[in-house]
Amino acid sequence: MQKRKIGSLEVTIVGVGCNNFGWRIDAQATADVVDAALDAGINFFDTADIYGGGKSEEFLGRALGNRRSKILLATKFGMKFDEHRSGAKPAYVRQAVEDSLRRLGTDYIDLYQLHSPDASTPIADTLGALNDLVKAGKVREIGCSNFSASQLRDAEVAVHQEDARFVSVQNHYSMIHREPEPEVLPECVRAGIAFIPFFPLASGLLTGKYRRGQPFPAGSRGVDGFGPKMFTDENLAKAEAWADFAASHGHTLLELAISWLASRPAVASIIAGAKTASQAKANAAAADWRLSEAELAEVARLL
């Protein structure tokens, strides 16, 4: 599988988003997904301390076992874990990384990401604490998530020369949700920051399994809380049009959604979630479609 750079890390163009682990699937199902992803050539796994109340990290670490050194492991901190654990103050950064290391069963994290900006803490203070973790060997690279272009610039200015700086930003991006395009993606190109799209399949809308006027599959996100927000008639109509385009070129909507993101500037790895081994395999294979300039132009018109 094609690999791209996140700082010094060479990650596969398709990764695994681990937000389902410990919440929507149990430890055995997590192991099945991890095994399938590894067999398919994926080397990048992205989780967070809050996913499943910590169980995502626990299940992922357990599933990896002695294969930890063969993969690149990303996790996040900063969103509210409980009444006493949240934010990006230096003391909490130090506590959060130890908690994640313990749950993951490892002694280092490849990419450690601030999950959300913390307005109550100067970004320079957070960056200083993260730099200490890099120097200590507990973290290899640092990144951020849910940052605007101006917040990325603020972080760039705040970092001391020779110290660790954000090498990636992870924001919501898909064919449905294109908010990063006007400002964040150009900033990533300018600053040499890798972009990691989350929700690349729009909570499953872009897998091709949803159709207007048909009941949503049992156990899907369309029926467990995401329906009213994402699965509108307008979005379903868009997805059907894109699926027809993909089919006319011998591909699926899933392959279009992943391959289109892979064609976007600064995108390093598309972290698609999976609940089953078959989904993990399908996600891994989806980036094989290298969209031509003519196909990209057709997609642009459809969008």
Catalytic residue among 51, 92, 173, 210: 51
Give, for 260, the enclosing helix (H) or strand (E): helix 253-262
C-alpha span between 44 and 299 (Å, rounded): 28
Q: What are phi and psi of 296, to 5 degrees?
A: -65, -40
Kindly report the backbone phi and psi dihedral angles of residue 22, in degrees, each rounded to the nearest multiple of 5, phi listed first. Answer: 80, -5
104 close to 61: Cβ distance less than 8 angstroms: yes
Q: What are the backbone angles phi and psi of residue 144, rounded to the nearest 5°? A: -140, 170
> 10 Å Cβ neighbour count for 148?
16
User: 3-class DSSP state for residue 124?
Assistant: helix
Question: Closest Cα to residue 31, out of 81, 65, 6?
Answer: 65
The 3-state DSSP class for residue 4 equals strand
The secondary structure of 55-104 as a DSSP string is: HHHHHHHHHHGGGGGGSEEEEEE-S--BTTB-S--HHHHHHHHHHHHHHH
Please list, in sequence order, all residues whose beta carbon lies within 8 angstroms of the beta carbon of residue 63, skipping any fewer than 6 positions away. 27, 30, 31, 33, 34, 35
Distance between CA atoms of residues 156 and 78, nearest Å: 19
51 is catalytic: yes
Residues annotated as catalytic (active site), given as ranges = 51
